[in-house]
Chain A
Amino acid sequence: MVSAPLIEKLKKTAGGYPDQRSALLPALDMVQRENGNHLSKEDIAAVAGLLGVTLGKAYGVASYYTLYNTAKVGRYHIQVDTNIPATLMGGQAILTHCEDMLGIRAGETTPDGLFTLSEVEDLGSCGTCPVIQVNDVYYENMTIEKTDALLESLKKGILPEARNESHFGSECKVLLKNRGDISNRSIVQYRKRGGYAGLEKAKALKPVEILDAVKHAIVRGRGGAGFPAGMKWGFLPQDNAAPVYLICNADEGEPGTFKDRQIMEYDPHLLVEGIAIAARAINAKKAFIYIRGEFRWIAGILEDAIHEARTAGLLDVLDIIVHRGQGSYECGEETALIESLEGKRGCPRLKPPFPALKGLYGCPTIVNNVETLACLPYIMEHGPEAFKKIGVVGNAGPKLFGVSGHVNKPGVFEYPLGTPLKTILQAAGGVKGNLKAVIVGGLSTPILTAAEAETLNMDYDACLKAGTMLGSGGIIVMNDTVAMPPIALRTIKFYAHESCGQCTPCREGSVAVESLIEKLLSGCGETADIDRILHLCDTIIGSTLCPTGDAFAMPIRAMVRKFLAEFETLVTANP
């Protein structure tokens, strides 16, 4: 049922977008919330009719995103992250414990309808694993004891308040300079500490002067690709009549990555200021923050900050909409994100045309990562030269590194690009036990052996040279208690689950790899299966529509090649 007041609310939400169909994702979410966390076919049809979307499109969207519950769930939806960082840090044990305590398996609902238990993918909280999400609330740093307490409380009908703390460190004092103090969320405090000075400076400049400064600073995209933001902006068409859109990519979903959260949750005005500067540079009147749907409370923090900035008259004509994703890793890819923002399934588009020429609603669009945009206030305030002084040649500025897995103090640490990996691992309290392998740029980057990681410096070029990528800077540490084949299986399961399904090598290749690794682990494998995995990976790389094929083929290939003996043992042990 979609109530009359909700219809009004939906219409208002839809009215905020240049095309009302963009409101499909938030509208389905709002309707689901009003109906006991369940999205019925009737309600999907009602929303479709309201927004002028075909029923097929609406259902296609509802069945695509994981946050929509087209099947009924219990009053408390317990979601346990078991992705790689979580697995390394005990997530699997928490899930098993929940199963035991609730008497149901993952994917089931208790007969009293109180609990639904789900095994979910990366929740963007890798530094604080194990993590359980109950409805909208994150419970981080979980232990068996804390889990028991949580379940007890829920059984009494009380959703306890979450107290989540994590380690952090800031060498550069650019991106995490305000991290320690929660009061920085308020604009008053932010300004007291010098906030919005960068924007004030930018306002005195012509757009092209801002562009030049950012170009000069060489801010390489912090989302993972490392493409210079200034150069990206430079691709926008000149003398163009269509509106230009700015999208902040806050769909942090790469396993091992939980950095953008630190900015948005603790220093939201830093991002708002960055967006305002970028929007001015590219002449955008409308900006979107596309944030992953699970970060609902962070979306609220951002909305508050935007409201404050607007009230303070800082945004001029700029309108910023916070748009929540609804559960799809793929939407981190910029064209999939644009599709999603248009109210569609998160399937990447063919490139070219690139978004700078034809993006959101076919208009010129710039998509920048949170961290990239958060660098802009510093550049405006202190100049590009100051920015370039941080880091090394060609890899300028500060970078957030999320460290998870087998370290003593997992967390997020801000260091100049080019900082030795060792230094960062030390900041994270050092490795627990003996280092076996490390993934340095998020799960999609090729794994490094301990030896390969020994002298690695953390910047884009050095990582490439080492046969991996800096990616998002999500560092996942594995000690020698880890067996690689199960890690490979859990990795490919994630990508098979997240594949949008659009192109063949990714859609079918991912499940083919998964089935082969499963076969090996089940003891039924043969040596040829290992060759088949490698053949699949070799061939898939470079053959998919978007980078997701590479994102699983490269790490799986690296895991198999570098730890081949472990895979071969699976065959020889079972003749």
Chain B
Amino acid sequence: MKVTINGKEYEARQGQTVLQAARDNGVYIPSLCYHPKTGPAGKCRVCIVEIEGARGLQTSCTVPVKEGMIINTESENVRKAQRLVVDLLLSSGRHDCLACEQNGACELQDAAYRLGIERPTFTLAPKEQTDNSAEFVFREHAKCIQCGRCIAGCNATVVNEVLDFGFRGHDTKVICDDDVPMGSSTCVQCGECVQLCPTGAIVDKLPRGKARTWQLEKVETVCPYCGVGCRQELHVDRAANRIVRISGVEDSPVNEGMLCVKGRYAFDFVQSPERLTAPLIREDGGTFRKASWDEALTLVASRFGDVVKKHGPDAVAGLASAKVTNEENFLFQKFMRTRIITNNIDHCARL
């Protein structure tokens, strides 16, 4: 169908909201409480637009497109309403971007930038608490805009049912269970809330202060833990050759952005000083010494050769791995079957 946005005609699909149609066509409407996964909430009121024939202003995240709809996203009235909302949010929190983890990836910052808001007009007492009690997630209430995305994610997506809104009015805040610190709550640190937070109110703890969002390159891969195969995005600091954080891939049919505590946070081992960095050969005394690849490979090849020669190929056995790639497993069994000439191959599928 055709819709007109700001005087220009665009293509839109049946079932889309005005916000989705605008986004798909590259028209920016600031929005904060909407996330494709948690759906329209109509709460932040920043995605307000004018629709010809409709009374008053409309939230574009909740109104479905109709054939021939005429939408204005930048009239004076619209801008005034959008600006006020962002201004109020900036006024009611402590949104200082300098040391904020989300700087550069913050939807509130984007909205303020697009609407040209330099600094807040009002001074409203922010909620000062921070919550550093949890192992992997850090919360700062003064950066929370009560959009409810984390709560929707916790309850409807991962269904861990920990987060909710407590109190009311200006005192409204996101609570864990019966308003206990996250670290003492039933939270299992899956980090879905972090993934959904549009600002810096709920952030990953591990990368804090380690890298700016724009310095990180994103690489998609598959989680190394259980067999579900969640698709993850590794945020990599190329210069430091480090994984800084991991997020879930939203459009994966496997995990739809979700990860568990391991998939999201247990990646330190990659950078562990205990990693093996060179082949090791056991000396006669029993201790290991570092060796070159050449030496190690030659030794392995010759010892395997000896055993085959002396005791036959079935005196050699190999364990493939449930944790390495298909290609590697394929090559491993090919090696055993064509170089050793044995079928003594197994792995710990059963364990």
Q: Within the complex, are A and B direct neighbours (CB within 8 Å)?
A: yes
A residues sitting closer than 8 Å to B (CB atoms) are 41, 44-45, 54-60, 63-64, 328, 345, 350, 496-505, 507-512, 515-516, 532, 535-536, 539-540, 542-545
Of B44, B121, B178, the residue contacting A503 (CB under 8 A) is B44
Q: Taking chain B's interface residues, is the majority helix, strand, or loop, or is none over half, making it mixed?
A: loop
Known: A350-B62, A515-B124, A539-B84. A345 touches B168 (CB 8 A): yes
Asked if B170 and A539 make an inter-chain contact with CB atoms under 8 angstroms apart, the answer reads: no
List 19 interface pairs A-B (beta carbons < 8 Å), by A numbering: A54-B164, A55-B186, A56-B164, A56-B176, A56-B178, A60-B165, A345-B168, A500-B169, A500-B172, A501-B170, A502-B172, A507-B146, A507-B170, A507-B172, A515-B123, A535-B84, A543-B56, A543-B81, A545-B43
Residue of B with least CB distance to A58: B178
A504 touches B88 (CB 8 A): yes
**Considering the chains assembled together, what is the distance between the CA atoms of A57 and B176 in angstroms?**
10
Q: Which residues of A contact B89 (CB under 8 A)?
A: 504, 508
* Cα distance, A303 to B165, chains bound together (Å): 33
B175 CB–A CB distance under 8 Å: yes
Question: Interface code B37-76, partner A: CB below 8 Å = 1, 0 otherwise?
Answer: 0001111111010000000110000100000000000000
Shortest beta-carbon distance, B31 to chain A, in Å?
A: 12
Interfacial chain B residues near A58, Cβ < 8 Å: 178
Which of B46, B84, B163, B169 makes the CB contact (< 8 A) with A501?
A: B169
Given contacts A350-B62, A542-B56, contact A59 B168 (CB under 8 A): no
CB pair B84–A56 under 8 Å, yes or no, is: no
Give bound CA distance, A328 to B169, whole Å.
11
B229 at the interface (CB under 8 A from A): no
Does residue B177 face the partner (Cβ distance < 8 Å to A)? yes
**CB pair A542 B167 closer than 8 Å:** no
Known A-B contacts A532-B121, A543-B45; the reply to A508 vs B168 at CB < 8 A is no
Instruction: For B92, give its contact among A350, A511, A545 (CB under 8 Å).
Output: A511
How many residues of B sit at the interface, in one of the four size bands? 35 or more
Is B91 part of the binding interface, using a Cβ–Cβ cutoff of 8 Å?
A: yes
Interface residues of chain A: helix, strand, loop or mixed (majority): helix
CA distance A45 to B56 in the complex (A): 43
| 4 further A-B pairs in the complex, CB-CB below 8 A; given A60-B175, A503-B43, A543-B57 | A60-B164, A500-B168, A501-B170, A543-B45
Q: Is B128 an interface residue (CB 8 A)?
A: no
A193, B178: Cα distance in complex, Å: 53
Give the nearest-CB partner of B145 in chain A: A504
Q: Are A60 and B166 CB-contacts (below 8 A) given A503-B43, A504-B145, A545-B42?
A: yes
- Give residues of chain B (134-159) contacting chain A, Cβ–Cβ below 8 Å: 145-146, 155
Residue of B nearest to A511 (CB): B170
Residue of A with least CB distance to B89: A504
How far does the Cβ of B56 sit from chain A's closest Cβ, in whole Å? 4
Distance in angstroms from B62 CB to nearest chain A CB is 6
Asked if B122 is an interface residue, CB under 8 A from chain A, the answer is yes
Does A515 contact B168, Cβ atoms closer than 8 Å?
no
Q: Is B85 an interface residue (CB 8 A)?
A: yes
User: Contact: A63 with B168, CB < 8 Å?
Assistant: yes
Residues of B within 8 A of A496 (CB): 169-170
A45 to B179, CA, bound (A): 12
Chain B hits for A328, CB < 8 A: 168
Q: CB distance A59 to B43 under 8 Å?
A: no
Q: Which residues of B contact A509 (CB under 8 A)?
A: 84, 88
Known A60-B165, A540-B84: A515·B122 in contact at CB below 8 Å: yes
Most buried by A among B48, B123, B161, B169: B169
Which B residue sits closest to A346, measured CB to CB?
B168
Contact B161 A56 (CB under 8 A): yes
Q: Of residues A56, A503, A509, A540, which shows the largest number of chain B Cβ atoms within 10 Å of its Cβ?
A: A56
User: Do residues A504 and B43 form an inter-chain contact, with CB atoms below 8 A?
Assistant: yes
A368 to B132, CA, bound (A): 48
Q: How far is the CA of A447 from the CA of B124 in the complex (A)?
A: 27
B171 contacts chain A at the CB level, 8 A cutoff: yes
Q: Is B303 an interface residue when CB atoms closer than 8 A count as contact?
A: no
Contact in complex: B169, A536 (CB < 8 Å): no
* Alpha-carbon gap, A542 to B56, bound state (A): 6
A-side contacts of B41, CB under 8 Å: 350
Q: Are A512 and B169 in contact (CB under 8 A)?
A: no
The reply on B162 being an interface residue by CB < 8 A is yes
Whether a CB of chain A sits under 8 angstroms from the CB of B347 is no
